[in-house]
Amino acid sequence: MVEVFLFMASFSGRGQGKLILMGEHAVVYGKHAVGTHLSRGLSLRLRALKRAPGRLDPLRSLDSKAREAYRSAAREAGVDPDRYGLTIASRLPVGQGLGSSAAFSVAASRALLAAAGRGAPDAEVLRLAGVMERVFHGTPSGMDAVMALGRGPVIFRKGAPPERLVPGRPLALVVILSGTSPSTRTMVEKVRRGCDRDRSTYGSLIDAAGDLVLQGLEAIRRGSLAELGRAMNENHAVLRALGVSTPALDRLVEKARTAGALGAKLTGGGGGGAVIALASARAHAGEIRKKLNMGKNSFMTIMRV
Ligand code: MEV
């Protein structure tokens, strides 16, 4: 059967990668978390199709979860998902805790709202992206999608509007990829099971993480890097106790500290993914990267307004 695709209107959207500085997992239980977007992101284009019968699947570039998420959001936006071919260009590694699914959700939501002839204010993008993120992650806090909007450093608390964070000085961070792909959904469920099993221990750990984030926030505002590094180190210890770190992540955290990081911890859901290390400045981040000697598996990012 000859395929005939005539490209007509097209709509595009973009979502940024994300980096959680502190507070992952505890944020699912209503605690504060801090993070920002990455300059790397994902761009998505929808092209209206006119085609002959016996057609190719217009969503063939998506795996089954992404397809389900996209179809749910399209229905919610009042757009027929089969009317559009979808192409994606991404510089985000998938499954490394850097928010590839949130970037996809935000990019698709922006494009779908445009296709529906509606405006795309952040609140509406987040509502639609939330539909997709629930397919990917079950019960997400919503923080990943907020960072994927690309609005810079934010303080996030579930159910409240995100607050803009103004660091007292730029934060130079080294992101280290472990190379193993975690499932955020699995890790969130693991913590949930822990809470059900032992409410008192898990509750105390989540409270401790929440307190550390508040200390980290104060340190960020004052520009006190030593204090922030200490809070990050302690946050990693709490995440370990919650059962979301791995021996490989712990080794990378140790390696980063030995290489001179002021603080280091896992970032995101854990169970694999990435580690972040705090440097005193851009040049110091370069030195840490050199000592780590991990080539493309590490990169630098500066958290600033
Ligand atoms: C995942 O990037 C962050 C978690 O806190 C889950 C969430 O906030 O939805 C682990």
**Best substitution site from 22, 24, 37, 154 to test ligand 1's pocket, by max atoms within 8 Å of Cβ?**
24
Contacts within 8 Å (CB) and 24+ apart, 50-54: 50/4, 50/5, 50/6, 50/8, 51/3, 51/4, 51/5, 51/6, 52/1, 52/2, 52/3, 52/4, 53/1, 54/1, 54/3
φ, ψ (nearest 5 deg) of residue 5: -115, 115
The CA-based angle 239-243-244, given to 5 degrees, is: 65
Q: For the chain, which ranges sit under pLDDT 50? A: 1-7
DSSP letter string, the chain: ----EEEEEEEEEEEEEEEEEE-TTGGGGT--EEEEEEEEEEEEEEEEEEE-SSPPPTTTTS-HHHHHHHHHHHHHHT--GGGEEEEEEE-SPTTSSS-HHHHHHHHHHHHHHHHTT----HHHHHHHHHHHHHHHHSS--SHHHHHHT---SEEE-TTS--EE---SS-EEEEEEE-S----HHHHHHHHHHHHHH-HHHHHHHHHHHHHHHHHHHHHHHHT-HHHHHHHHHHHHHHHHHTT---HHHHHHHHHHHHTT-SEEEEETT-SSSEEEEEESSHHHHHHHHHHHT-GGGEEEEEE--
What does the pLDDT look like over 64-103, one tens digit per residue? 999 999 999 999 999 999 999 999 999 998 888 899 999 9
Q: How far apart are CA 96 and CA 93, in angstroms?
A: 6
Query: 């996809």: which residue's tokens?
Result: 104
In this structure, the residue with its CA closest to atom 10 of ligand 1 is 269
Contact 192, 243 (CB under 8 A): no
Confidence at residue 8, expressed as pLDDT on a 0 to 100 scale: 67
Alpha-carbon distance of 110 to 98, in angstroms, equals: 20
Which residues lie below 8 Å from residue 202, measured CB to CB, with a gap of 6+?
191, 194, 195, 242
pLDDT at residue 173, rounded to an integer:
98
CB-based burial of residue 161 (10 Å sphere; 0-12 exposed, 13-18 middle, 19+ buried)? exposed
Rounded distance between C-alpha atoms, residue 268 and residue 144, angstroms: 9
Q: Whole-prediction pTM value? A: 0.94
Which amino acid residue places its CA nearest to atom 9 of ligand 1? Answer: 140
Which residues sit with their C-beta closer than 6 Å to ligand 1?
20, 24-25, 27-28, 137, 140-141, 143-144, 184, 188, 268-269
Cα–Cα dist 253/140, whole Å: 25
Q: Residues 198-222: pLDDT tens digits?
A: 999 999 999 999 999 999 999 999 9
Closest to 260 measured CA to CA, from 304, 227, 226, 215: 226
Average pLDDT, rounded, for the chain: 94
Atom of ligand 1 nearest to the CA of 137: 9
Residue 53: predicted pLDDT: 53
Instruction: Report how far ligand 1's centroid is from the alpha carbon of 100 (Å).
Output: 13
What residue's CA is closest to ligand 1, atom 2? 268
Pocket test for ligand 1, best of 18, 19, 20, 29 (most atoms within 8 A of CB): 20
262 contacts 225 by C-beta, under 8 angstroms: yes
Block residue for tokens 């192409």: 87
Query: Can you tell me which atom of ligand 1 is nearest the CA of 144?
Result: 2
Residue 94: what pLDDT?
86
Q: From ligand 1's centre to the CA of 183, what distance in Å?
A: 11
Query: What pairing do the DSSP bridges indicate for beta strands 84-90 and 154-156?
Result: unpaired
Could you count the other beta carbons within 10 Å of the beta carbon of residue 260? 15
Q: What is the pLDDT of residue 5?
A: 46
Residues annotated as catalytic (active site), given as ranges: 144
Return the pLDDT at 6. Answer: 46
